[in-house]
Structure 1
């Protein structure tokens, strides 16, 4: 299924200059820098900006997906229930609004982040200094879209696998630190005592 048939696609808001934080009020804004390497958007870290007369299509809500169309990582992130008010999506972010009877936000983001979709973007990328993914490449991306129940199972298994990876990495890091401490203690115990250390006893 083409991505354009599974969701509506909009470009983010084009900022004419640097978006300055609002002293009071304003609207939440999601910019490229607000998406973590793991694809997480933390609403508590978003900045409010003072802008008026914005079109509704630029705003994202829980259940929408944002796509990074510029940079080395062209991945998608599903916005969860922590986003409790509309937020302005700023270019180079693209707004993907899933057709809920066809695809869930979590599965859509997962599918876009998988190797087949990423290879599609690799072949379509433009730019030499800054990699950019054209809108047409998003429209024409082919995705395997199973039934909603299967989508949910895939997302759950993927989340469990990611958690397992995190715990495995944490265990490896902890073990490495413990070994380092033991080696340091062993090295210190084998170090010849200085005259001051010998006479202090």
Structure 2
């Protein structure tokens, strides 16, 4: 079944910071910024700030939220890991909430949005200045295949295995390359 993401998601812009971010030892809210997002859902230590009256609607929920880079060459999405304290994303990041995580697994959505096909569609949706930037409703136009949750889980397992196999093959190729260079240098020195 093909679904329009507008039917499955709620997208919000990250909070806007009007001034420089100043960390505080007794901070009560963590911030996720563009520079905090790395590959494979790894987030570095997040800065904590004192925030008064942070609306609950902006807080990230690991059960159903993802974070989307709204600006740049790659408009990638990341799953929200388990959090130790209230956390919000900062604009130009966007909080993407899956309305029914039992029907659409957040991890499957993350995988799909990061595929080359979906990235091409998002780049088409982005308005171009010097840097591509998405509007909040850009995901609304994106359609994706939505199999049963069990099938989504199988796809995620297969994708993880393929990534692992590719990494192993790349490591092996690099090792072969280094050995070849070493052999050539030793041969040239004789």
**Does the pair score TM above 0.5?**
yes
Deviates more, 1:108-117 or 1:65-74: 108-117
Find the counterpart in structure 2 of residue 17 from structure 1. Answer: 19
Find the counterpart in structure 2 of residue 7 from structure 1. Answer: 9
The structure with more radius of gyration: 1
Deviates more, 1:149-158 or 1:116-125: 116-125
Give yes or no for contact 1:76–1:112 (8 Å, CA) kept in 2. Answer: yes
- Counterpart Cα distance in 1 of 2:116 and 2:179: 36
Equivalence map 1:138-153=2 (5 Å): 138-153=139-154
Find the counterpart in structure 1 of residue 135 from structure 2. Answer: 134
Find the residue that maps to 1:96 and give its secondary structure.
Answer: strand
Q: 1:39 offset after TM fit, Å?
A: 4.3
Give yes or no for contact 1:125–1:131 (8 Å, CA) kept in 2. Answer: yes
- Counterpart Cα distance in 2 of 1:35 and 1:16: 21
Find the counterpart in structure 2 of residue 33 from structure 1. Answer: 35
1:74-120 CA-to-partner distances (Å, cap 9, x unmatched) read 11111233x33331111111111112122011001111112332222
What is the RMSD of the two structures over their aligned residues, measured on CA atoms?
Answer: 1.7
Q: 1:156 offset after TM fit, Å?
A: 0.6
1:40-75 CA-to-partner distances (Å, cap 9, x unmatched) read 232x52222222211112221323211111111111
Q: 1:16 offset after TM fit, Å?
A: 0.6
- Counterpart Cα distance in 2 of 1:120 and 1:149: 26
| Bigger relative contact order (CA 8 A; separation at least 6) | 2
Is 1:66 matched up with 2:73? no
Q: Which runs of 5+ in 2 are unaligned?
A: none
Deviates more, 1:130-139 or 1:101-110: 130-139
Find the residue that maps to 2:68 and give its secondary structure.
Answer: strand
Normalized per residue, which structure has more strand?
A: 2
Find the counterpart in structure 2 of residue 166 from structure 1. Answer: 167
- Counterpart Cα distance in 2 of 1:57 and 1:4: 18
- Counterpart Cα distance in 2 of 1:168 and 1:45: 31
Moved segments of 4+, more than 6 Å: none
